[in-house]
Structure 1
């Protein structure tokens, strides 16, 4: 082997080692995210979930991996695609959204984001609206990180509802009917954060701050680290959510 070939061989070995190291770090990073996404998932509380399953006004089914809540008596023409917060089980939102089905006759599709994190779920809105083909008017909404993702899907919907959340993309010129429901005691999506992101929504967006509601008040999965202390009970929270969305439906 000539002297001129040896440096090139060494350079190739160095490049190979660097590429293998980078690949190893990427694999370790992906595995770390997957493992983290499965640890500490917040499950639905049994009592509120049972109350929905025992309500003969509501039919609950699994369609394409989504939780679909629909009125048992009539076909609905208006629906809500709801995206859960980070690492919160889809079923944990059934009770708080049940009034929309039982009282407003809506169909609610609660998604199951990939890796339990809406940020990593690239599926379009049609993936979820296909679960209820009879519905022709769709709201999209979500809680916490799910609301951030809902904002990204909102241009394909007829309206947007944020539950303890706010937009990271600008919808101010979209003309989309929009509703933000927040909690006065929310320690994560605080009133200050909701206010700071207000300009991301259309000027006529409606903002409803529920007195006594914390971040976890929008679901039934127990307390959440960093959250405030709620003073509102579950029945009143469900009623406030139902009334606020009913008002938005009147604007469609």
Structure 2
């Protein structure tokens, strides 16, 4: 289950998450109330109940959606962050965590992500994609305050797929 960033159309994440669907992973992209994740108080089960045959769930999100995903992570098996970090402590959980950030992110900067690193489990996988900006994680155009990406969209999608697909495959083998 994936939660969009603030005021970002959920469809903006379809291309970057497409590789998961092509590998047979069920992908649910939420449409938060008022288009802001913090106003959406639905629990993870509101979305997972639509696919009752799925046994393992990862919750993830971009930017503010990632902050909300951290709040729902207690009910999931894994956490995936795109240009985001937790504001609540999940460090003492056994969650599998993949945090993908961008070297050119002007909003969830590498420094901010590093400063919140202690809120994640010690074995969280932290990956910074060289040349990626905040908006590189979704197809929604430039964003005020963001850095300038130096990575092409297709290369960004391929790098994220190369990280996500094995992470999700390992989760399903549990």
Q: TM-score, normalised by structure 2?
A: 0.95
Superposed displacement of residue 136, structure 1: 1.6
What is the DSSP-based 3-state SS (H/G/I as helix, E as strand, rest coil) of the residue aligned with 2:31?
coil
What is the rounded CA distance, in whole Å, between the counterparts of 2:121 and 2:165 in structure 1?
A: 19
What is the rounded CA distance, in whole Å, between the counterparts of 2:51 and 2:94 in structure 1?
A: 25
Report how many residues are paired. Answer: 171
Of 139, 142, 152 in structure 1, the residue corresponding to residue 71 of structure 2 is 152
Matched, 1:184 2:100: no
What is the rounded CA distance, in whole Å, between the counterparts of 1:106 and 1:85 in structure 2?
A: 21
Q: Which runs of 5+ in 2 are unaligned?
A: none
Superposed displacement of residue 92, structure 1: 0.8
Matched, 1:112 2:43: no
Q: Which runs of 5+ in 1 are unaligned?
A: 1-80
What is the DSSP-based 3-state SS (H/G/I as helix, E as strand, rest coil) of the residue aligned with 1:180?
strand
Residue aligning to 1:173:
92
Answer whether contact 1:163 1:181 (CA < 8 A) is retained.
Answer: yes
| Greater strand share, structure number | 1
What is the rounded CA distance, in whole Å, between the counterparts of 1:208 and 1:235 in structure 2?
A: 18
Runs of 4+ residues over 6 Å off in structure 1: none
What is the DSSP-based 3-state SS (H/G/I as helix, E as strand, rest coil) of the residue aligned with 1:162?
strand
Superposed displacement of residue 247, structure 1: 3.0
Superposed displacement of residue 137, structure 1: 1.2
Q: TM-score, normalised by structure 1?
A: 0.66
Answer whether contact 1:109 1:131 (CA < 8 A) is retained.
Answer: no
Cα offsets for 1:189-213 (capped at 9, x unmatched): 0000010000000000000100110
Of 81, 85, 93 in structure 2, the residue corresponding to residue 162 of structure 1 is 81
What is the rounded CA distance, in whole Å, between the counterparts of 2:15 and 2:52 in structure 1?
A: 23
Q: Which has the higher contact order (CA 8 A, sep 6+)?
A: 2
Bigger radius of gyration among the two: 1
Answer whether contact 2:56 2:77 (CA < 8 A) is retained.
Answer: yes
Answer whether contact 2:99 2:126 (CA < 8 A) is retained.
Answer: yes
What is the DSSP-based 3-state SS (H/G/I as helix, E as strand, rest coil) of the residue aligned with 1:153?
helix
Cα-Cα RMSD: 1.0
What is the rounded CA distance, in whole Å, between the counterparts of 1:240 and 1:155 in structure 2?
A: 28
Residue aligning to 1:221:
140
What is the rounded CA distance, in whole Å, between the counterparts of 1:134 and 1:175 in structure 2?
A: 23
Superposed displacement of residue 182, structure 1: 0.3
What is the rounded CA distance, in whole Å, between the counterparts of 1:107 and 1:235 in structure 2?
A: 22
Please give the residue correspondences for 1:194-209 in structure 2 after superposition, counting only pairs within 5 Å: 194-209=113-128
Answer whether contact 2:19 2:165 (CA < 8 A) is retained.
Answer: no
